[in-house]
Amino acid sequence: MTRVDLTVRGAGIFGLSIAWEAARRGARVRVIETTRIGAGASGGLVGAMAPHVPELWNAKKAFQLESLLMAADWWAAVEAASGLPSGYARTGRLQPLPDARAISQAEARGVEAATLWRGQAAWTVIPTRGSPWEPASPTGLLIHDTLTARVNPNAALAALVAGIRAMQGEVTEHDTTDEGPVIWATGIAGLDHLSALLGRPVGSGVKGQAILLAHDARDAPQLFIDGLHVVPHADGTTAIGSTSENRWTDPTGTDAQLDALLARARLALPVLNDAPVIARWAALRPRAASRAPVLGPWPDRPGHFIANGGFKIGFGMAPMVAQTMVDLVLDQRDTIPADFRPELLSASSVQK
């Protein structure tokens, strides 16, 4: 029988990223997915990887920054091993500035970014140019950051699967035997399971709906307009995300809330008016009670580990989640931020 050093449960962005990282370090990995690859929150349309605002710095923001900074090399390695595109590109992002207060806040954040982002990306205030791919801005000014990137979610998952297999790893959609340490990257099912075990909710699913248009702006920056993400992809599509719903009955159905989102996007960016709709999609984001990722050993269950809580930024954090989990599980090197540790779950309650 083939030796397996590590089993990963769940073929979403967390599970596949961890398995890829372990495989490229020479471990023999097995990924077990019980539904289908990308069946959960990861099999979507948006794939924005945008930084937290550079102020009030904390461990979560620092962790995500490292992930965004390492992403270009990380996705290039996945593409090289798999021979498949991930859709990764660091195309930056524009945001309108509605008033004088927003301008001074943006300028202060630009100063913070100069230090916090270590010269590897910039946050600046720039004038509008009247381009059709520009949000209207009452002040005539925009924030431009050069850190925001994107991947194409389903292409990225396919590239990871092929990369793992190229490194002799297994990815299976049939339930089979766990061998070696087991990392549970099972998204909302994992949070529900932990809640049942602990007898209290340790997380919940926040529904999101998104839409994909046939509009080719592949080299243009992302736009962030009054809570809307407009994300051009390399394949000539543009994604619009996303609703955020704490109450829902159908976790994967789309409805009038998505129509309203699209209408807002078209009002804000008339160049999208005639773009045909290619796909509508919805899923539950796995949100832990802490709103932070949950990474580390499964309390009281030796040999088992948890990687969950990607919430709204699972793709952005994936490279660091993978590095941190593989450091821990294969090299016994524990660099997990204190706020992310699973043992905190038993002491927490769900925030609404």
Ligand X SMILES: Cc1cc2nc3c(=O)[nH]c(=O)nc-3n(C[C@H](O)[C@H](O)[C@H](O)COP(=O)(O)OP(=O)(O)OC[C@H]3O[C@@H](n4cnc5c(N)ncnc54)[C@H](O)[C@@H]3O)c2cc1C
Residues forming the site for ligand X (CB under 6 A): 9-15, 32-35, 39-42, 44, 46-49, 185-189, 208-210, 241-242, 283, 285-286, 308, 310-316
Closest to ligand X by CB, 141 vs 211, is 211
Between CA 18 and CA 11 the distance in angstroms is: 10
Q: Return the number of the residue (141 or 315) whose C-beta is nearest ligand X.
A: 315
| Strand pairing class (93-96; 222-225) | parallel
Q: How far is the CB of 155 from ligand X (least distance, A)?
A: 14
Residue from 73, 77, 76, 54 nearest 64 by CA = 54
Q: Which is nearer to ligand X, 117 or 184 (CB)?
A: 184
Residue nearer to ligand X on the CB measure, 38 or 141 = 38
Identify which of residues 272 and 317 has a Cβ nearer to ligand X in the complex: 317
From the CB of 352, what's the least distance to ligand X, in Å? Answer: 18
CB of 111 to ligand X, least distance (A): 26
CB atoms within 10 A of CB 203: 25
List, in order, residues 6 or more apart from 185 with CB less than 8 Å away. 8, 9, 10, 12, 14, 15, 18, 307, 308
Contact 53, 132 (CB under 8 A): no
Nearest to 16 by CA among 170, 150, 148: 170
* Residue 76 beta carbon to ligand X: minimum distance, rounded to whole angstroms: 18
Least distance between ligand X and beta carbon 268 (Å): 18
- How remote is the C-alpha of 341 from its chain's centroid? 19
